[in-house]
Amino acid sequence: MPPLDFPFHLDGRGRAAVTDRAGHVRDLIEQVLFTRPGERVNRPDFGCGVDQLVFAPASDALVTATQFLIQGALQRWLADVVQVERVAVAAQESTLTIEVVYVRLDTGRRETGRFSAPAGG
C-alpha cells in the first residue's frame, strides 16, 4: 500500500490521498521541520519547531542557529531515510525559507526540498 499523503486529505475519489516514495520522504522532512517539540503525545521530543522562529528578529545568528537546529533534527529523526548534505535558511521579514539538500538512502538520489514558515505557523 502506498504511503498516505501529508497533510491528510481526500483524493478526487473520496479516499485517503496517497503519494509516491519521493513525496513521502519530503512529507517526513516537512513533519520534522514544522512539528513543535511537545506537540506529539507519545514522542514529546520529536520535531524542531522552526515555525516558532519566524517571530524572532531576523539576523545572521538566527539563520545559523536555525541551520544547526534543522540539521540536527533531521539527522536524529530521519537518519535511516536520508543523508542531509546541506541546509540553507533565508529570513525575510516574517518568513523563513528553508532549503534542504539530501540523498535518499533507498535510491541514492540527491533531491532538494524547499519549505517556508510564514508568520503564524
Give me the pLDDT at residue 54, please: 60
- 50 falls within a domain: yes
Q: What is the CATH number of the domain that holds 68?
A: 3.10.450.40
CA–centroid distance for 57 within its chain? 21
- 16 falls within a domain: no
Q: Is the pTM of this model over 0.85?
A: no
- 64 falls within a domain: yes
Range of the domain at 105: 21-117
- 65 falls within a domain: yes
CB 101 within 8 A of CB 86: yes
- 59 falls within a domain: yes
Give me the pLDDT at residue 99, please: 95
Rounded to the nearest 10 degrees, what angle do helices 21-34 and 60-78 cross at? 130
- 1 falls within a domain: no
What is the spatial distance between Cα 15 and Cα 75, in angstroms, rounded to a whole number? Answer: 33
What's the alpha-carbon Rg for the chain, to the nearest Å? 15
pLDDT tens digits, 26-59? 999 999 998 888 888 899 999 887 877 666 666 6
For the chain, the domain total comes to 1
- 8 falls within a domain: no
Using 50, 70 and 90 to split pLDDT, how confident is the model at 120? Answer: very low
- 13 falls within a domain: no
